[in-house]
Amino acid sequence: MDKRLHSPNAIKEIMEKYGFKFSKSLGQNFLIDGNIIEKICDKSEITKEDGIIEVGPGIGALTQQLCEKAGKVVSVELDKTLIPILKDTLKDYDNFELVHGDILKVNINEIIEDRLKGLNVKVVANLPYYITTPIIMRLLEERLAIEKIVVMVQKEVAVRMKASPGNKDYGALSVAVQYYSKPEIIVNVPKNVFIPKPNVDSAVIMLDVYDKPQVNVKDEKTMFEIVRAAFGKRRKTILNALSSSSLRLEKDEINEILNKCNIDPKKRGEVLSIEDFANIANNIYSK
């Protein structure tokens, strides 16, 4: 078999040998471009001190390079038809471990503490796009000991994660991602580097995860309730959005809090910074 698992020939050979068929519902678009794989690995700055968690190895094209560079790689794959294939394609790597399961359900902390013990943990993956946001939010919200997340996502989602206040793409996802990490778009990726070709353009985004969030928030639940309310009703002023939200505060109380935070109550949520949201939350929480 062709040693380079990203080559269309290797994929074709594997499909024939195992009778494998792509599953659209599992977001299976496999990488067939060695340069993109190199770029993902380079930007992840992988060394033998690193333990990598990979989401969705597919037939192992990216995994193969990760195994060459990292101390250890643990890949989580949901599709059971890929399990025997991966055991074959990656059999030469003794630093590879496969977990058959759903990345939204497996115990990631156990992977980090048991299987990747003593290593710097990074998540590197070409994500299944139908669950991009839940995966990213799980990795960030659980405050796992993860240093960096370097992932291929839909371009539009990468742009939203990186967007700044006032930008049309700025929203609840931007605030959440930027609260926990510093995002950087590494490279835009065209459709033709995947097989089968997806319907959307892609981008690789790197999230440098903060040891602790950059802003001081007394109660994250309150802050994210405010963020949800502010962006749930984008056309409303922040005063109106918050007064009709689940926060159950009177309009004049909210007005008072916004004034205290030096925020014009007539502004829309989409121009507020993370610091503004934290400030409002801390004032509501201490009420």
76 lies in the binding site for ligand SAM (CB under 6 A): yes
Q: Tell me the window of 12-20, 27-35, 110-118, 159-167 that interacts with ligand SAM (CB under 6 A).
A: 27-35
For the beta carbon of residue 72, count every other beta carbon within 10 angstroms. 22
Fill in the amino acid letter for 155: K
DSSP symbol at 272: -
Q: How far apart are CA 56 and CA 106, in angstroms?
A: 13
* Closer Cβ to ligand SAM, 145 or 200, answer by number: 200
Q: Tell me the window of 20-28, 115-123, 250-258, 276-284 that interacts with ligand SAM (CB under 6 A).
A: 20-28
Answer yes or no: is 56 a known binding residue: yes
Q: How far is CA 109 from CA 53, 78, 117, 145, 158, in A?
A: 11, 18, 11, 8, 25
What are the structure tokens assigned to 136, written together?
A: 């990213």
Smallest distance, Å, CB 276 to ligand SAM?
Answer: 35
For residues 252-271, which are near ligand SAM according to CB under 6 A?
none
Q: How far apart are CA 140 and CA 269, in angstroms?
A: 23
Q: Tell me the window of 56-64, 89-97, 218-226, 266-274 that interacts with ligand SAM (CB under 6 A).
A: 56-64
Are 146 and 139 in contact, with CB atoms under 8 Å apart?
Answer: yes
β 72-77/96-100 pair status: parallel
Give the residues across from 203 on adjacent strands: 153, 188
Report the residue from 10, 20, 30, 181 that binds ligand SAM according to the rule CB under 6 A.
30
62 lies in the binding site for ligand SAM (CB under 6 A): yes
Are 44 and 148 in contact, with CB atoms under 8 Å apart?
Answer: yes
In the shown chain, the binding pattern of residues 100 to 129 toward ligand SAM, with x for contact by CB under 6 A and - for none, equals --xxx---------------------x-x-
* Closer Cβ to ligand SAM, 57 or 183, answer by number: 57
Tell me the site size for ligand SAM, rule CB under 6 A: 23
What are the structure tokens assigned to 161, written together?
A: 């994660």
Answer yes or no: is 31 a known binding residue: yes
Q: How far apart are CA 181 and CA 73, in angstroms?
A: 23
Give the residues across from 54 on adjacent strands: 75
57 lies in the binding site for ligand SAM (CB under 6 A): yes
Report the residue from 14, 51, 56, 274 that binds ligand SAM according to the rule CB under 6 A.
56
Q: How far is CA 122 from CA 14, 57, 240, in A?
A: 28, 15, 41
Residue numbers in the known binding site for S-adenosyl-L-methionine are: 29, 31, 56, 77, 102, 126
Which residues of the shown chain bind ligand SAM in the complex (CB under 6 A)? Answer: 26-31, 55-58, 61-62, 76-79, 82, 102-104, 126, 128, 131
- Annotated binding-site residue numbers: 29, 31, 56, 77, 102, 126
